[in-house]
Structure 1
Amino acid sequence: MNFIKRAFLNIKEKKGRSILLLLVMSAILLFVLSGIIIQNAAKSAIATAKESSNATVTLTANREQAFKNIRKSKSKSTTLSLPSVSIATAKKIAKSSYVKSYNVTNSTTVNAKSFTAIKTSSSSQSGPSMGGNNKSQSSSGDITLSGVSSTSTVLSSSSAKLVSGRGLTVSDANTNNVVIEKELAKDNSLKVGSTIKVKDTDDKVRTLKVVGIYKASSTASSGGMGQSDPGNTIYTSAQYVNKVKGTTGKAESVTFIMNNPAKASAFIKQAKKLISTSKFSLTTDDSTYQSLLTPLNNVKSFANKIVWLVTIAGTIILALIVILMIRERRYEIGVLLSMGEKRWKVISQFFTEMFVVLIFSTIIAVIGGGFVGNYMSKELVSQSSSTTTSTMTVSSGQSQGGAPTQGGMPNGGGATQQGQNTGSQQSSLSNLEVSVDLMSILELFGFGLVIILIAILAGTVNVLRLEPKKILIL
């Protein structure tokens, strides 16, 4: 009688023991599989976050260095002169393999001619004005022309969304096409296809064609000038803004969107070779990616711990059961060895018995793993999300102050960014796809094989090292 046949007969005869092993093994594999599929889901979500988080690196004039130069200069003049970014240089930098796309930004102010700008008032304006403010206000227009390469990035966030018509693309570079805000369009009875007129600082009247309408969700700052209201921002091409300003091939800033947020540092190192770091600076904004990465890494780490803790605990439990099982079968082992059966065949018999149990346990684990994994992932996501949100709230509360944030955005902009990050985080976590695939099953089966192999070796080593006679008299 070969060891395989003996193994099947033993499983059939010892139904109670076989069912016990099946239940224990199924429970172990169920939790191992849950950990594996949650871990895989977290890895997949991290990969998706890398592609969708749009981490950016922005090339702008080095303001810090410019201020240092003023302080070092013996001249009494305090005028801050900032160099413009060359679009030609930006195109060279954008050829990097790290860059997915880039957006040129340029802006200027103009005055509304054929329509009325949105007026913003605030009680803070009723006080006495600072010297020179009235002149500055009158010289700057009530409309902001924001020049971009494409509106795909600026009009796809929670702060602004396209609601009618189309956005601007690179094909609009040498046109007078614009995208205006919904409230501005409503107040002036404008629609897609309408034409509007503005007057630049040289009193030259320019005609613009409305090709799209967007809705801004942010509110106006309490500063007071007309162009500070987001409704007074009109998007056009960066080249058209250059035309209004009387410049060529220049930009205020260029934003590079990364293929992989983790490679931002490598990109900056590469880009610095093409610019003068004393005149220009490169700043990274991967806050959305980091806000997604933290909870996902927490989920991934916890799932990894589940897999290893359950595997180790399961191996120990199964080893104890096998030891007890073999102790009951010492006589059988002694007789088989006395009859000349090889020791490896005896071990193979036990392995075959456990292997059959493993197959059925894997089937049970696969059936129930999806449900258990989905429940566990929701609990983990809930805990990780609430912890990260609390941390972000505390950090935001500590960092808030009266000064404007980088880029001149008021404090509300930081709150908006935090809201975007939190919203993106919750969206990514809620979309954590937990599913059982072939690779997960194969990985589970591999863990199962390792568990039963270690358990059998641990259970048989003390008995099989003895001679048959000693085994029989134990």
Structure 2
Amino acid sequence: MNFVKRAGMSLGARKSKSAALLAIFVVICTLLLGGFLLQAAAARQEADARRTIGVDATVKKKGLTAVLADRLGASELVYRYNPELPVRAGARGLTPLTSDAPKPGDAGAGKKARGPLAVNGVRDSGMLLPFSYGSTKITAGRGITPEDAGRDVAVIERRLADRNHLKVGDTIHVRSADDADDTDTDTDTDDTDDAETVPLKVVGVFQNPTQDPTRWTAPHKLPGNALYVPMSTAQKLGAGTAAVSEAVYKVGSPKQAERLRAEAEHLLGGGGFDFRVNAKAYKDQVRPVQRVGAFAGLIVWVIALAGTLILGLIVTLRIRERRAELGVLLAMGEKKWKLIGQHAVEVAAVALPAIALAALAGSLAGQPTGDALLGRRDDKPAAAAGVPDAGIAPPTVRVEPATVGKVAGLGLGISLVATVIPGIGILRLHPRSILTDTE
């Protein structure tokens, strides 16, 4: 008789024991699937955290230019970066804010005025600390993005917008700092100088929570006179200014930050080189996710080992109980490998429905379990410690065919190992010894 058919008949004849074996296999496969699902969810959440939180590396060096900053930003380690180029500018047809306090008689005496507007050339305003922390917010429109490179656009402060009745879509005119008058708000005059006038389209309005100083303050130092523009626009207004104050690079992990340091030293040289890494947000929010992923991997291996041992013990007991049956089959000329194959088929036939039931259980209970182990934390300790409030997105736990395939492969592997190892004892026996010693 074919040993596969014989395996089916044996399962039918031992329904209670087959049901017990099925229950054990369901538990094993469910735990295996849970481990794989947690691993996958943790990996997705960690990848998302690397993109949204990551590690900020700030580079400062005398003579750091926008070109060098862009070359370092082109590194495969960097997926977001922002150089900052501060310049001063004048205004035309635009009334800058002035201090309400009286101006001291000697304030600015003997100094050439350079313009009342503090213009900051950036590549990605969302990476600026006030915006990433959430203290400064965009109230209308949007910020400066890498797609704005080469465009003459601006994001202005709400107080300057209110003073000049500006809104998103309006156009303002600013002038390069050469010969700009810091104290004269009537910027329609002095048309004979060499200052370049640049029309800027307002694409966003932001609100800086900093209050106006109570003492007299130069216009360019007032928080309301700050503008953010693309780097190319700042270079136009800066009258050839090429050096950036600093550049911030976002990488995926502290290890990648160290690799970026080596690339920066190779590109910029080591003299007067300042490289600072802010990895607190990464450590506070990414490391727990990594620990859950490592724990899930440990679960998989522990369950695989424990499942093999348990099933191996069960198969050993089943073989001992069926020694008389094995002796008769061997006496009838049945090959020993077919006897082992029969037991392997029996266990595999139980494993397949167990895998299906485990997949069903995973689809029902996977998401709640993932939320419990990987859910976003509400205490936000990082924000309280001066770290951007960039919480990790809630986990997505989904049962995919590839994951079920892993469970099926590992489950069938467990059934094979748990059958073959105890079955080695069958290869050492002869029909006479089995039939004469069935105890």
- TM-score, structure 2 as length reference: 0.79
Q: Give the Cα–Cα distance (whole angstroms) in 2 for the partners of residues 136 and 329 of structure 1.
A: 107
Q: Name the stretch that deviates more: 4-13 or 321-330.
A: 321-330
Give the residue type in structure 2 aligned to 1:115: T
Q: 1:164 aligns with which of 131, 137, 141?
A: 141
Asked if 1 retains the 8 angstrom alpha-carbon contact of 2:178 and 2:239, the reply is no
User: Which string of whole-angstrom CA distances, capped at 9 and with x for unpartnered residues, describes residues 402-432 of structure 1?
Assistant: xxxxxxxxxxxxx3xx2424x2x2x2xx1x2
Asked if 2 retains the 8 angstrom alpha-carbon contact of 1:33 and 1:365, the reply is yes
Structure 2 residue aligned with 1:380: 373
Q: 1:433 aligns with which of 359, 381, 396?
A: 396
Q: Give the Cα–Cα distance (whole angstroms) in 2 for the partners of residues 292 and 100 of structure 1.
A: 19
Q: 1:420 aligns with which of 385, 389, 394?
A: 389
Asked if 1 retains the 8 angstrom alpha-carbon contact of 2:114 and 2:180, the reply is no
Structure 2 residue aligned with 1:332: 325
How many pairs are equivalent?
A: 413
Structure 2 residue aligned with 1:66: none
Structure 2 residue aligned with 1:40: 40
Asked if 2 retains the 8 angstrom alpha-carbon contact of 1:168 and 1:236, the reply is no
Asked if 1 retains the 8 angstrom alpha-carbon contact of 2:60 and 2:274, the reply is yes
User: Which string of whole-angstrom CA distances, capped at 9 and with x for unpartnered residues, describes residues 278-329 of structure 1?
Assistant: 2332333455444443122122112112212222222232223223322321
Q: 1:146 aligns with which of 120, 123, 126?
A: 120
Q: Give the Cα–Cα distance (whole angstroms) in 2 for the partners of residues 280 and 45 of structure 1.
A: 34
Structure 1 residue aligned with 2:97: 117
The alignment-based identity, stated in percent, is 26
Structure 2 residue aligned with 1:411: none
Q: 1:105 aligns with which of 84, 88, 100?
A: 84
- TM-score, structure 1 as length reference: 0.73
Asked if 2 retains the 8 angstrom alpha-carbon contact of 1:35 and 1:373, the reply is no
More helix, by proportion: 1
User: Which string of whole-angstrom CA distances, capped at 9 and with x for unpartnered residues, describes residues 112-165 of structure 1?
Assistant: 8843538799xxxxxxxxxx9998999897753211235464497444337226
Instruction: Indicate how the Cα distance of structure 1 residues 337 and 229 shifts in structure 2: closer, same or farther if over 3 A, else same.
Output: farther
User: Which string of whole-angstrom CA distances, capped at 9 and with x for unpartnered residues, describes residues 39-91 of structure 1?
Assistant: 12222333343444464433312xxxxxxxxxxxxxxxxxxxxx332233334
Unmatched 5+ stretches in structure 2: 182-186, 188-196
Q: Give the Cα–Cα distance (whole angstroms) in 1 for the partners of residues 388 and 21 of structure 2.
A: 51
User: Which string of whole-angstrom CA distances, capped at 9 and with x for unpartnered residues, describes residues 362-400 of structure 1?
Assistant: 111111122232222122114x8479x55x479x3xxxx
Instruction: Indicate how the Cα distance of structure 1 residues 135 and 449 shifts in structure 2: closer, same or farther if over 3 A, else same.
Output: farther
The alignment status of 1:179 with 2:155, answered yes or no, reads yes
1:171: Cα distance to partner? 5.6
Give the residue type in structure 1 aligned to 2:202: V
Structure 2 residue aligned with 1:279: 272
The alignment status of 1:84 with 2:63, answered yes or no, reads yes
Q: Give the Cα–Cα distance (whole angstroms) in 1 for the partners of residues 337 and 151 of structure 2.
A: 81
SS in 1 for 2:286: helix
Q: Give the Cα–Cα distance (whole angstroms) in 2 for the partners of residues 164 and 445 of structure 1.
A: 51
Asked if 2 retains the 8 angstrom alpha-carbon contact of 1:28 and 1:310, the reply is yes
Q: Give the Cα–Cα distance (whole angstroms) in 1 for the partners of residues 107 and 421 of structure 2.
A: 85
Give the residue type in structure 2 aligned to 1:25: F
Unmatched 5+ stretches in structure 1: 62-82, 122-131, 397-414
CA RMSD of superposed structures (Å)? 3.9
SS in 2 for 1:250: coil
The alignment status of 1:452 with 2:426, answered yes or no, reads no
Structure 2 residue aligned with 1:25: 25
Structure 1 residue aligned with 2:307: 314
Q: Give the Cα–Cα distance (whole angstroms) in 1 for the partners of residues 383 and 372 of structure 2.
A: 21
